[in-house]
Amino acid sequence: MSSGFNAKSFLKNVTSAPGVYRMYDIHQQVIYVGKAKDLKKRLSSYFRANIPSVKTQALVSHIDHIDVTVTHSETDALLLENDYIKQYMPKYNVLLRDDKSYPYILLSGHKHPRLAYHRGPKREKGHYFGPYPNGGAVRESLHLMQKLFPIRQCDDLYYKSRSRPCLQYQLDRCSAPCVGIVSDEEYSEQVKLAGLFLRGKDKQVISQLVAKMEAAAIDMHYEQAAQYRDQITALRRVAEQQEVSNHKGDMDVIGVDYASGIACFHLLFIRDGKIFGSRSYYPSVPAETDIEEVLSSFLGQFYLNADIQRTIPKEVILSHHFDGLKALEASIEHALDKKFELKTQVRGDRANFLRLAMTNASNAVATRLSHKNTVEQRFQLLEEALELNEPIKRMECFDISHTMGESTVASCVVFNREGPHKADYRRYNITGITGGDDYAAMEQAISRRFDKIDNNGKVPDLLFIDGGIGQLRVAQTIVDEKCTHIDNPPLLICVTKGEGRKAGLETFTVGGSEQTFEIPSDSPAFHLILHIRDESHRFAITGHRNKRQKTRNTSTLESIAGVGPKRRKALLQHLGGIQEVKGASITELAKVPGISLEMAQTIHDALRGG
């Protein structure tokens, strides 16, 4: 136990009421958040003579002080605990890093509604279908919907600017309401059928289409009848591929596997008896955490996170039972103010779904462990190749990307013993240098990375530079200048492409001594260096392209004084796009609502360099 904390004195004044406690270390960082029905009893358990849990021993040894918040009930304590965990992300808590809202499909409320991907607050009028387990599921569904229902998926700006049908019409994936090829009545019928399909009413949609096909055939509209026939065939093919249960309600099925510190929760989202989608979650689990805490923490954080805007079914099937399950179920039900049931003993279709979820969870954990072992082996071989005395805990790699000096971006990617650590990736927008000066760009990026760093910061053991000896010298100079007070400054290594820039011919140079060394191209250590180099290159190019595209898309109109968002929107909508705005005469510009003759002259001169 830390010498600064007097447990006996603290426990004398602790209440026996329900509440939440926060444990702090000497740096005033929250290291653990917990809840209790009886605070005094729960907190006393941490300071017994013999603590069996290694994790609890480590936690207690770092406690500097504890804050207690009393609540009215155990349910209030559960809600507050969940809020505190999201706020502080304590290192000894099981953490579910799932703060993204769930995506939906939007069927808009326009005269000619569109199908669109939606994530976040529901601001636009229309019908929202979902939530889907991930963005990939939405995009896959939208792609399927294009084949089944000829409804537009383009944005409003594109839709309003059309004067003739686009490629989607030629591919029979849109009925071109933008140019009046389809009647409003027929388009509305297709929209209604799409809505029914998204609600899972496959049979109803097919029966309505069959009736339409028969009516068209009787009226001798054979071409239209053939279109309905093809649509029915496509719908039946889709319906046959979907796994259906006799159970018609909604439920979540959770398969859990926990081994060697890695936990996977594989969720099947069952809606109207069909597998609506699936998703794997990998919470951050502190070492030596028991399965009961992992299960309890995940379920509490997952079902009480209102920010992600997902629908919660009444029934949740779980592969593992634990002692606090019923108490947690009651607390979640009370907090949600709706029926909520956790089941672990099931039969029939539910058991089949549960087996499927468990198989996916165990396969995911096995894959992650295999990957983890492979990465660990690569790190060990790299340590041997570099003859290092200490293990490599953190590696970083820098790269510069630009096009002829335009929109220069520097990337910094991070690898730890488990592989890429994307939460610590950084990009630096490089400004104030001569275009194309890679040395100056590298100097600025490294300076910003190591500015004001100290021993408590995230100091890499190895720092790779994608480039030649010049970039290495610049980086080494900055590191020597900025890291004088660091106990273990990073070792710099530049990765230089070989002859013809062919992969496998790279050479490596150590900073300072500038000694060149080689690693066999078939060595896992060599593959690790190339992996981090390629990842930094990818991350830099992606950032550069996004910056360049944004600059090219927005600079022309946004740089004109007096042209704000409303006028930009009016210009683009009225004239049909940026190229049309650039080619418009002063008279044509002045016809746009909100654009005076003087403003039209200003816009015309600015776009044509007048």
Q: 180 and 145, same structural domain?
A: yes
pLDDT digits (tens, 9 = 90+) for 229-284: 887 887 676 655 554 444 567 889 999 999 888 999 999 888 777 777 788 899 98
| Alpha-carbon gap, residue 473 to 488, rounded angstroms | 19
Q: 448 and 536, same structural domain?
A: yes
Residue 385 placed within a domain: no
Provide the residue type at 189 as one letter.
E
Specify the DSSP element, H or E, that contains 318. strand 315-318
44: domain CATH number is: 3.40.1440.10
Residue 197 has pLDDT above 70, yes or no: yes
DSSP string covering 399-423, please?
EEEEETTEEEEEEEEEEETTEE-GG
Instruction: Give the residue numbers spanning the domain of 71.
Output: 7-88
515: domain CATH number is: 3.30.420.340
Task: Report the pLDDT averaged over residues 212-232.
Answer: 83
pLDDT band at residue 324 using 50, 70 and 90 as cut-offs: confident
Q: 260 and 291, same structural domain?
A: yes
Of all residues in the chain, the percent with pLDDT exceeding 90 is 35
Domain endpoint, select from 330, 346, 366: 366
Residue 382 placed within a domain: no
pLDDT band at residue 461 using 50, 70 and 90 as cut-offs: very high
Task: Report the pLDDT averaged over residues 574-592.
Answer: 85
pLDDT value at residue 244: 45
Q: 296 and 274, same structural domain?
A: yes
pLDDT band at residue 456 using 50, 70 and 90 as cut-offs: confident
Domain endpoint, select from 185, 212, 241: 241
SS3 assignment, position 255: strand
442 and 428 in contact (C-beta within 8 Å)? no
| Alpha-carbon gap, residue 470 to 479, rounded angstroms | 14
**Closest CA relative to residue 407, chosen from 535, 538, 540:** 540
CA distances 59 to 19, 155, 258, Å, are: 20, 53, 21
Task: Report the pLDDT averaged over residues 552-561.
Answer: 68
132 and 277 in contact (C-beta within 8 Å)? yes
Residue 216 placed within a domain: yes
Beta 274-281 vs 394-403: how paired, if at all?
Answer: unpaired
Domain endpoint, select from 528, 550, 572: 550
pLDDT digits (tens, 9 = 90+) for 392-439: 999 999 999 998 888 899 999 999 998 999 989 999 999 889 888 999
Beta 462-466 vs 394-403: how paired, if at all?
Answer: parallel
Q: 399 and 517, same structural domain?
A: yes
pLDDT band at residue 542 using 50, 70 and 90 as cut-offs: very high
590: domain CATH number is: 1.10.150.20
pLDDT value at residue 450: 93
Task: Report the pLDDT averaged over residues 114-129.
Answer: 84
Residue 318 has pLDDT above 90, yes or no: yes
Look at 155 and 249; give whichever has higher pLDDT: 155
Q: 362 and 277, same structural domain?
A: yes
Q: 517 and 429, same structural domain?
A: yes
Q: 506 and 489, same structural domain?
A: yes
Residue 110 placed within a domain: yes
pLDDT digits (tens, 9 = 90+) for 55-99: 888 899 899 999 999 998 888 888 889 889 988 999 999 988 765
Residue 1 placed within a domain: no
pLDDT band at residue 160 using 50, 70 and 90 as cut-offs: confident
SS3 assignment, position 78: helix
Q: 545 and 415, same structural domain?
A: yes
pLDDT value at residue 425: 95
pLDDT value at residue 609: 65
Residue 79 placed within a domain: yes
Task: Report the pLDDT averaged over residues 603-607.
Answer: 85
**Looking at 272-276, 341-345, 522-526, which range is the least confident one?**
272-276
| Alpha-carbon gap, residue 304 to 477, rounded angstroms | 50
CA contacts within 13 A on the Cβ side of 470:
6
Q: Which residue has the tokens 């794997």?
A: 280
Backbone angles phi, psi at 124, to 5 degrees: -80, 140
Q: 506 and 401, same structural domain?
A: yes
516 and 509 in contact (C-beta within 8 Å)? yes
Task: Report the pLDDT averaged over residues 44-51.
Answer: 86
Q: 409 and 517, same structural domain?
A: yes
489 and 454 in contact (C-beta within 8 Å)? no
pLDDT value at residue 1: 44
Look at 176 and 549; give whichever has higher pLDDT: 176
Provide the residue type at 147 as one letter.
K
pLDDT value at residue 248: 61
Residue 375 placed within a domain: no
**Looking at 209-213, 318-322, 341-345, which range is the least confident one?**
209-213
pLDDT value at residue 177: 92
Count of domains for the chain: 5
**Closest CA relative to residue 296, chosen from 582, 78, 591, 485:** 78
pLDDT value at residue 90: 93
Residue 95 placed within a domain: no
For the four alpha carbons of 21, 56, 334 and 99, in that order, the dihedral sign comes to positive
pLDDT band at residue 562 using 50, 70 and 90 as cut-offs: confident
303: domain CATH number is: 3.30.420
Q: 278 and 205, same structural domain?
A: no
| Alpha-carbon gap, residue 442 to 507, rounded angstroms | 19
| Alpha-carbon gap, residue 301 to 588, rounded angstroms | 57
